[in-house]
Structure 1
Amino acid sequence: MNHDGFELGLDDINNAGVYSVTNDDIAPLSAAMRDAGLRVATIDLQGCIDKRTLVARIAAQLDFPQTFGGNWDALLDCLRDLSWLQANGYALFFSDADGLKAGAEKDFETLLDVLDDASTSWGKDDVPFWAFVALRD
């Protein structure tokens, strides 16, 4: 992840990235992101302990095209595009990620890398892309 503890600074696109938060942080952060004019989506990861379920939940929540391939490369491609969800920026919240981290640590780490790559890609176009992954600690 890019950052752990943080002062958001929503007005600075350089602050966009991948952050670790708690489930209690999701509601106030979602409100702040909506107030900043960003498209907000929450992906519930409770009970998610494998890549297949993870990718399916993201695809469903973000209305990925039916041609979505269901693999890491396709996930990154869709997260870099999101043309069907036009917005001034994006904030994705992944609630209850502890089970995924414990049950599929490699997939959890790959997810973080994909989110970081997507944020970097959007940043090159001056579009903020934030990802918040909720963990207990």
Structure 2
Amino acid sequence: MIPENELVSVLQQPDRAGVYHLPQRGAEAITHAARELDFPVLRVDLSGCADKGDFLARVAAGLKFPDWFGQNWDALADCLADMAWLPADGYVIILEHADRFRVAAEADFIAALETFDDAARERAADGIPVWIFVGLTANGIVHLRTL
């Protein structure tokens, strides 16, 4: 993981933002750096989550999506592309305890990561960093980068 004193600088870089493995004991340092930048830190507890519907409902609640959220991948992409209800210069999203979702619904887990990564790239083009950190006990997940 990047040293804590460098995290603030890294989190400001939209071109580096995207989907990352949440480093063990890294959530506190990431949260602290994000708060220094006045970026909202949005946490989603995925403990026991085993399917797409439950995942989308938890994400909608954790990210404070508007009532019109449609509970599908396209609606997730739309909400991530324009977070007008929560304006900020950057965002940190922490998906905690994602192991069960990854194992129980692997295709949906991958679709979720791809949707988040696409949104991060889209927002980076506007100069807004969107960081997604996924808490897993497993390492080496192809779709997840490491800091």
TM-score of the two chains, using structure 1 as the length reference: 0.90
Instruction: Determine helix, strand or coil for the equivalent of 1:85.
Output: coil
SS in structure 1 opposite 2:95? strand
Give secondary structure in 2 for the equivalent of 1:83. coil
Corresponding residue of 1:97: 98
Q: Equivalents in 2 of 1:23, 1:44: separation in Å?
A: 16
Letter paired with 1:106: A
Structure 1 pair 82–11 and aligned structure 2 pair: CA distance change class (3 A): closer
In structure 1, runs of 5+ residues without a counterpart are none
Unaligned runs of 5+ in 2: 139-147
Amino acid at match of 1:121: E
CA drift at 1:6: 5.6
Aligned pair count? 133
Corresponding position of 1:37? 38
Identity %: 41
**TM-score scaled by length of structure 2:** 0.84
Residues 22, 136 of structure 1: 8 Å contact kept: no
Residue number in structure 2 paired with 1:135: 136
2:132 aligns to what SS in structure 1? strand
* 1:1-80 superposed matches below 5 A: 9-22=10-23, 24-80=25-81
Distance in 1 between residues matched to 2:2 and 2:132, nearest whole Å: 13
